[in-house]
């Protein structure tokens, strides 16, 4: 939903940054098996210690297909390792080389769910930068996260 | 094997860097389910564009256990995304909070195998920094990598 | 939606079979790490060669958490191996030991998506056999399956 | 090692059963993405309740490559669900359509490790039924299983 010139709370300049970053991130993909490049971008609520506002990743495949990992998990794995967590992320973007809009796979939706609030927007860009957008809660309804299987700490 | 004061080609100062980085990396773990922190370090043959010689990662878990990922894959996924590849890595280190030496799981061995040569040393540190070391080929014998399932590019 | 005494096309006796099977299947779980038993049931449109109308599975965990697998994938993996495929499945059921209704994780939704039509109902049972139900398309909206990444055959 | 006409404790007729089953199991593969069929066979120490002595499985792939699963895990997941466990398995076999001998991927080695003793033989068959054999401990040295990360039961 748009409001005050924002899309799900994301300003035009931020959306442009997500789009550019996700499209650029595709070049970091290692995908000799699928030949399907995917780029992911994570918009932070505020700049991190290194002055970065948007983090990124791409798919890294493996000769044993199930062992490879997707763009969204490479990006989010590194982001969480760097200290970001639930509450840090304002939006997510994914981009492919297709004309159609491609959504995160179910495994990535589950991985993202651990660190995003349900109203966080996920922008899905085609190769030209056009997009559709859904919230985390919309693409993984009835989901469970850290709240359901209580941590043991 | 030691030779000229090197262990598998790794100098004492480099080994110290791997050890310190792997132990430090544990603090980036998100492991509310297993409470088992793991840190991983990747020694590069030469500094990357950002002046880094050792890259790192930690385990990032998920409420759906199979969806989480290990330290070695977080580190290597980010490294490959950053442009490193087969030929870039001189050594790997992993560290836990245990007194025993803990090895990479089979899934991580397979993930690493895609980007390491078979003689790359993998140092396994206990919480005190003591280690055992094995090569990639030793911990995943008879393995298959990009050579066996030929890329389609 | 109910119609002619059917829920998403499933008759009362069939629903009872799904429920009983999913609840029973929990006893086959190997879950020493999460202590969280899950059972899954797959209702076929017609009996298979062995006279079975409902197939089943449970979660099988691993000391390396990401290597374990969920109930839904154990059940569906065996079913597809046995010759069932897109078009064979009339409904899916999952059951846990909780009072709340627990849904399939995102990874399992993606795995199921490959073999279910989007209007296939997925029944989520609590420990008492009460349920909520959603279709495949509802719990993994905007999903991609075999149609999007075209098979190479 | 051969002894008394046995190979790692497996008799000729048993080896023949493993070979035939693994080769046959390939036909159950769902692999439209890799076009790489794999069959797996699990030899039990004694017949199960259904009179089966050898269980089997094949790879079941997914449009999201990391979500798919390998032959060994389909076979072992179903076997453990059926009640088999550490101590039940006498040998494992895997077969492909290649002339070369293909080994289990690292992820499957880890999955199998949970339920096999370290001296269990794993036979790797080429398409003609010729094989090489290694024990569980040989293909996943320094591994960790249920003993290292203690179950919480
Ligand atoms: Zn994904
Ligand atoms: Zn691992
Ligand atoms: Zn699942
Ligand atoms: Zn495998």
For residue B63, how far is its CA from the centre of ligand 3 (angstroms)? 10
CB spacing of D64 vs A107 below 8 angstroms: yes
Of the candidates C2, C47, C50, C72, the residue annotated as catalytic is C72
CA distance B134 to B100: 15
pLDDT digits (tens, 9 = 90+) for A99-144: 999 999 999 999 999 999 999 999 999 999 999 999 999 999 999 9
Question: What proportion of chain B, given as a percentage, has pLDDT over 90?
Answer: 88
Q: Is the dihedral of CA B109, B112, B114, B115 positive or negative?
A: negative
Please name which ligand lies nearest the alpha carbon of A109: 1
Contact criterion met (CB below 8 Å) for A12 and A21: no
Mean predicted lDDT score pLDDT of chain D: 94
Catalytic residues of B: 72
Residue D94 has pLDDT above 80, yes or no: yes
Distance from CA of C73 to the nearest CA of D (A): 9
Sheet with A38-44, strands from edge to edge, namely A54-58, A38-44, A89-96, A121-125, A131-135
* Interface test mutation site (partner D, options C52, C62, C142, max chain D beta carbons within 10 A): C62
Residue D12 has pLDDT above 80, yes or no: yes
Contact criterion met (CB below 8 Å) for D71 and D40: yes
What's the whole-number mean pLDDT along residues C74-90?
A: 98
pLDDT digits (tens, 9 = 90+) for A25-84: 999 999 999 999 999 999 999 999 889 999 999 999 999 999 999 999 999 999 999 999
pLDDT digits (tens, 9 = 90+) for B44-84: 999 998 899 999 999 999 999 999 999 999 999 999 999 99
Closest CA to D95 of D125, D62, D53: D125
**What is C2-138's CATH number?**
3.40.140.10
- Which of B35, B57, B78 has the CB atom closest to A152's CB atom? B35
**Interface subset of A 79-138, CB within 8 angstroms of B:** 80-83, 85, 107, 110-111, 113-114
3-class SS of residue C84: coil
Tokens at residue C106, please? 């995102």
* Domain spanning D11-86+93-138, CATH architecture: 3-Layer(aba) Sandwich (3.40)
Write down the H helix ranges in B66-142.
71-81, 106-113, 136-139
State the chains in contact with C (3 or more Cβ–Cβ pairs under 8 Å).
A, B, D
What's the whole-number mean pLDDT along residues C73-90?
A: 98
Residue C148 has pLDDT above 90, yes or no: no
Delimit the domains of chain D by residue range: 11-86+93-138
Q: How confident is the model at residue D153 (pLDDT cuts 50, 70, 90)?
A: very low
CA distance D103 to D96: 10
Name the CATH code of domain A14-85+106-139 (choices 1.10.240.10, 3.30.70.1170, 3.40.50.10490, 3.40.140.10).
3.40.140.10
Residue A4, phi then psi, degrees to nearest 5: 55, 35
For residue C69, how far is its CA from the centre of ligand 3 (angstroms)? 7
Name the burial class of residue D96, with classes exposed (0-12), middle (13-18) and buried (19+) by CB atoms within 10 angstroms of its CB: buried
pLDDT of residue D147: 81
CA D44 to chain centre: 11
CA distance A41 to B131: 37
pLDDT of residue C153: 45
CA distance D102 to D38: 9
- Which of B30, B33, B80 has the CB atom closest to A80's CB atom? B30
Q: Where would I find the beta strands (DSSP E) of chain C?
A: 2-3, 6-7, 38-44, 54-58, 89-96, 121-125, 131-135
Q: Which CATH class is domain B2-139?
A: alpha beta
Catalytic residues of D: 72
A70 contacts in chain D (CB < 8 Å): 64, 66
Residue B151 has pLDDT above 90, yes or no: no
């Amino acid at each position: 939903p748009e409001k005050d010139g924002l899309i799900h709370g994301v300003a035009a300049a931020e959306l442009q940054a997500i789009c550019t970053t996700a499209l650029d991130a595709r070049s970091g993909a290692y995908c000799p098996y699928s030949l399907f490049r995917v780029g992911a971008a994570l918009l932070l609520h505020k700049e991190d210690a290194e002055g970065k506002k948007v983090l990124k990743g791409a798919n890294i495949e493996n000769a044993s297909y199930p062992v490879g990992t997707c763009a969204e998990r490479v990006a989010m794995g590194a982001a969480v390792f760097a200290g970001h967590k639930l509450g840090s992320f304002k939006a997510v973007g994914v981009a492919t080389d297709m004309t159609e809009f491609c959504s995160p796979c179910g495994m990535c939706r589950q991985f993202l769910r651990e660190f995003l609030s349900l109203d966080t927007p996920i922008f899905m860009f085609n190769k030209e930068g056009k997009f559709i957008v859904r919230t985390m809660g919309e693409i993984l309804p009835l989901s469970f996260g850290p709240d359901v299987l209580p941590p043991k700490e």
